[in-house]
Structures are given as C-alpha cells and as structure tokens.
Structure 1
C-alpha cells in the first residue's frame, strides 16, 4: 500500500509537471528571435500556417503547436491576410492573432493641402499595392491616413479616399452657417482649398476664410497667390518668386486677374479648412499679409494693409531675403 501511495504521488506530480510544462510552452515566450511575416491565403488551413511558422522559427514544432491548439484553443478558423509575427510571441498569442484576423496594417498618409498630383505619386510609391491609377480629380481626396493590406489595389484605396471626401463634404454642408459666401458644396471645396494653402496655422483658418468670404460678397478679386501658382505647377512648390506675367495670366485659376472663385480646387483641403469656409470668422477684414512667424496680420482697410506690407518688407530686408 505504501509503494502504491508513493507511486500515486509521483504520478500526480508528473501530471502536474507535464501540465505546467505544456501551459508554459503554450503561453510562455516563443522561440522566435526576429519578427517574421506570414501570408495566409484565402481558404488556407491552420496546418499549412503552422508548417510555415515552424519553417520561420516562430514556433518550435508544427505538430506540437497543432496538438496544443486542440487542448488550449478552439476551432475558430484562421483569417486570410498578411501577419507580422513579433519575436518571442507566445504560441497562444499567435493563434489569437490568426483567428482574430489581426493582419499587418500598412498606411498611406495624405496630409492636408496635398495636391492630387502628389497624391498620385504617393499612391504609386506605396509598397505592396497593386495596379495603376490616374491622377485623381483635384479636391476629391479627403486628407487622412488610410490603412491597406498587402495585395490591395491602388484603385480600391483611392476609392476610399474619394468616398471619405464625399461623405465629409456632404455632412459639413448640412452644418453650414447661414449667409456664407459660397452657394454649393463644390464652391465650398474650392474656397477651402485656397484657405488650406494660405495658412499653416490652424487657429487662422476661420479668419482667412472670413477675409475671403468678405471679398467674394463684395465682388473683389481674392488675390490669392496659391491660385496663381497652381496652373504653373499643378500644386507642387514653385521654388521661386511669382513672375509679373503669371500675376497677369488669365487661365481660370488666377484670382488676381479675375473676381470670384477659380474654376476648381487647387489642392485637397482637410476637414478644418472645409469647416472654416462653412463657418467663417465674423470680421471686417479684407486683407492680410505674412507677419514673419508663419502667421498673418489682418487689416480692414487698404491703408492699414499697405502699412502692414511695409513692415513685412522691412522684416524680410533685415533677414537678407530682399
């Protein structure tokens, strides 16, 4: 009886030890010494994924991994996609990642005010996207970060960018304030693109929108430098001073040579600039000029504006820029 009791104790200890070992093997740090990528094709099995994981060193043994999934996991199918398997990740977490579809997310980021020609370049340079796209219509893209998976098409990503702009512009138009200077969502988009290019300070957007709204209502030319540059570069940086001939050019965009809005947007404006145009600052200002800090000085009268311009020129001369 005593020998049987000792044997029973040893058996229990062995079973407890085995269970502890299995739990540690399942939930403890894995053998992987580096991050690896795993592609799971549509309809692929956990067995095939386990073989690839073993080959890449993320798990020790595929058959043991599969056995432990039957003990500790469940029969939820794994999801197709590209996975980034971190070094030392546990086998338990690998299964959760594959079953939960926590695929590797890639992003293409479109900053506020980026012209469509540069959006096109960014899309074409995005890794692991497939297919070609044309340069999108100016103003049709909502600036944001867009996630995509390996193998997605550029057209699919572009469609999401444009759908996002359509939705936001429609929602913003419904919230517009009364007596604004624009009459349609398209006009709001055009003016927002000018506001976007005129100021890099978020707190100025509504004030700049207020100035341009005042000018539109009075039939004054907007005299926005970015509208002069756009036909020359299609939105890319000019890299030099604007020529007098460019200020006088008549091309549908130059707001020095005509009153009213240009014929189309000159960039892809962000949400804040769209909102600013639809809820501009209430102001009497009709002019503004740079103040040397990245912002602007605003003026109600031409006399005040001319004085501010002279201050700006004096500052530029002091900096050796003129």
Structure 2
C-alpha cells in the first residue's frame, strides 16, 4: 500500500519505534493557586457532608416512623421539669421507645421548628412510633381521669372518696356544707387538687339548683319556700328511692304530708341524726332509736329537718321542685325493689300485709327493725292531735 500522501515515508527501523505523544498541558498558574485548591476541597467536603446528612435524615425518618416496642398500651407520667434527655431515658426505661438517640435527635430537629414537650400523664398506644410519641407529648394529650359521685352520698362520704383518690393532690380544709355538692362524673388530670374538684362540684350544684328552682311548681308547701329547703326535701327523696319512675311520687307523698301537717317519718333522717352524716348505720334501726329525738329525726320533729341529709342529684331536685299531682300519703316496699303508693290508711295497711306475707320466714332480731324499713304509717289528723307511731315496716329502694 503506498504511503499516505503528504507524509514522508518511514524507514523500517523508524517504523518499529513508538511514536512520540505530546505530554499533558501544564495547568495554569491560576488553577494551581492555593485558594482555588482549598475551595475545591471545601466544596467536595460540603457535598460529602450534605449527602451524609441527607442519608442520615432519610434513615432517621424511617426509624422515626416505624412501629415502636410497646406490646400493649401503657400510661407514663412525665414529671414537671424533665428535659429532653430525661424524658428520653424515662421512655426507654418504661419500654415506650428503644432508640433514644433517634428520639433525642428527632426532638432536637423539631424543636428548631417550635416544638415543645409538655409534662403530664400520657397514654402511649401499642407499638407507638417515635413520631406518635413526640406528637402525644407535644400536643399535651394527657390522660383524663374520672371521679364519679353517686347520688345520695353525704359530704363527708364524698370527701373520704376524694382523699382515697391517689391521682389527686392536696388536702381538704373542711367538710363542705351538706347538700352543696352535685353528684356527677368529673374529669381531671393527675395532680389536680382535691379542693379544685370540690369547687367544681359546688359550682355545678349552684348552677343546677338555680335552673331547677326557676322551674319549680307554684304549689309547693309553705315549708319549701327557699332553694335550701328544696335541697333538703330533695335529699329525702334521694335517700328513699333510687328509681327514676318513683321520684316524683315519693316527693308528692312528702309534699302532701307537709300540707296536711303530718310528720314525714323518713327512716334515713333517723340514720343521719345518729351518724352525723358519716354514712350508713351498719345495722338495723332499733325501735328505741325511732323514738329518739334528734334535730333530724322526722319521727319526732315537725316538717323538714334543719338541713339536707345527703347530696341529691338533679333528678331528685327536679322531682322535689315538681312533684306528681297525687293525693298519696303513704308508700311501702313491694318486695321487688319498688314501692306501692296509697291515699288512705286502710289501703296502706293492705299493702303492708302483702309485704309481710312476702317477708314471712325472715325474722328480725328481737327489739330491732329490719335495716330496709319503711316509715311507720299513720292516719291524717289535726296538727294538735297526737300522732301514734306504729311498728316500722320494711322498705326497699331506700338507699342508706
């Protein structure tokens, strides 16, 4: 093959020698400047750091959102004054989290965005992620406890229950006035003071009493002319029956007796006079105690007792404010948890006889009256006439 045009032919020996390749161009003096070299190094380092941080955040986000170690729901109390590290250690000890460093790092990142962790008692759900835990702590989703007050407890009994509730704090300076607390369920957070709960109960009672009093019947007896007297009447209704369908009829019996100048003869007033509001008597009422004079014993005093014998609920307050329109003067237990009502003494005696037949076979100890006794019966007569008291009869539905 002829040699390429324009290029001189090479001898065989020259053809065997390697061709000379031009060497690399030497960098300019500017490219070799120390500042440029340093800048390149810094840029490279920043790229590496950015990639590392991005990768770390990606991995951390995955761990932050993955299910946690809790095998079941758990409540943990975060004390006031705890920092992020303290909270992290506590949650790890309680088994809520198993990656404290991820938790700590995540909180630090979120704190830069304004997040704060709040102390209190929290419920962490089963397998809560670190993200769930932080959300719970930052939103202050504290556990709500419930303190339930049944209708018919005395103020002293309510105070005792408050003192037995460990989630509350502080002492109680004095027993609230009888009838001034509204039986209800009250929500609270751990650490709330017992005085605060009492204050809420008193405010609730004032509000309900004001509402009920404004809607009272215009035909109440002269002995019930103030809200305080209404509470007293309602407390008797509360202690005599626990059935909603009987409250207005029980209230009517008391109202009719007040109008007829008859003694109320309510057994719970005997117990309150004997115990001073400390609670149940714990034994049957003795016959001698029926005749024992106390300021509250409505077998021996005229009209209403000097004050409430318990804390009545809204239903009993409403029943006392608007009793049923009946002529009934008596009621006795029917043996099934309710009562039988009657207008006349003769009819009442028949109802008592039926109850005695049901009870036959359960003899009471000598000299006592069964614990669930109804008020002794009597016939209406002028106020100045003596009112004979007959042996007490059993009464169900009354709460002592």
Q: 2:236 is matched with which residue? A: 194
Distance in 1 between residues matched to 2:335 and 2:154, nearest whole Å: 25
- Higher-Rg member (1/2): 2
1:239 aligns with 2:282: yes
**Matched ranges for 1:68-79 at <5 A:** 68-69=106-107, 70=109, 75-79=114-118
Give CA-to-partner distance per residue, 1:230-280, whole Å, 9 cap, x none: 111234222333223222222221111122110011111111111111121
Tell me the secondary structure at the aligned position of residue 77 of structure 2: strand
Distance in 1 between residues matched to 2:257 and 2:237, nearest whole Å: 13
What is the root-mean-square deviation in Å for CA atoms of aligned residues? 2.7
Give CA-to-partner distance per residue, 1:193-252, whole Å, 9 cap, x none: 110110121211111111111111222111111111111123422233322322222222
Tell me the secondary structure at the aligned position of residue 203 of structure 1: coil
When structure 1 is superposed on structure 2, of 193-202 and 136-145 the one drifting more is 136-145
Q: 2:158 is matched with which residue? A: 119
**Matched ranges for 1:1-322 at <5 A:** 19=58, 24-33=62-71, 35-41=74-80, 44-46=82-84, 48-69=86-107, 70=109, 75-133=114-172, 134-181=174-221, 182-235=224-277, 236-319=279-362
Distance in 2 between residues matched to 1:113 and 1:71, nearest whole Å: 51
Q: Normalized per residue, which structure has more helix?
A: 1
When structure 1 is superposed on structure 2, of 198-207 and 21-30 the one drifting more is 21-30
TM-score norm. by structure 1 comes to 0.85
When structure 1 is superposed on structure 2, of 283-292 and 304-313 the one drifting more is 304-313
Tell me the secondary structure at the aligned position of residue 264 of structure 1: coil
Gap runs ≥5 in structure 1: 1-14
When structure 1 is superposed on structure 2, of 238-247 and 157-166 the one drifting more is 238-247
Q: 2:24 is matched with which residue? A: none
Pairwise CA distance, 1:170: 1.4
Q: What is the aligned residue count?
A: 307
Pairwise CA distance, 1:40: 4.0
- Native 8 Å contact 1:228 1:246 kept in 2: yes
- Native 8 Å contact 1:38 1:52 kept in 2: no
When structure 1 is superposed on structure 2, of 220-229 and 150-159 the one drifting more is 150-159
TM-score norm. by structure 2 comes to 0.70
Tell me the secondary structure at the aligned position of residue 60 of structure 1: coil
Over 3 Å counting, the alpha-carbon distance change for 1:155 and 1:161 in structure 2 is: same
Distance in 1 between residues matched to 2:62 and 2:313, nearest whole Å: 50
- Native 8 Å contact 2:64 2:130 kept in 1: yes
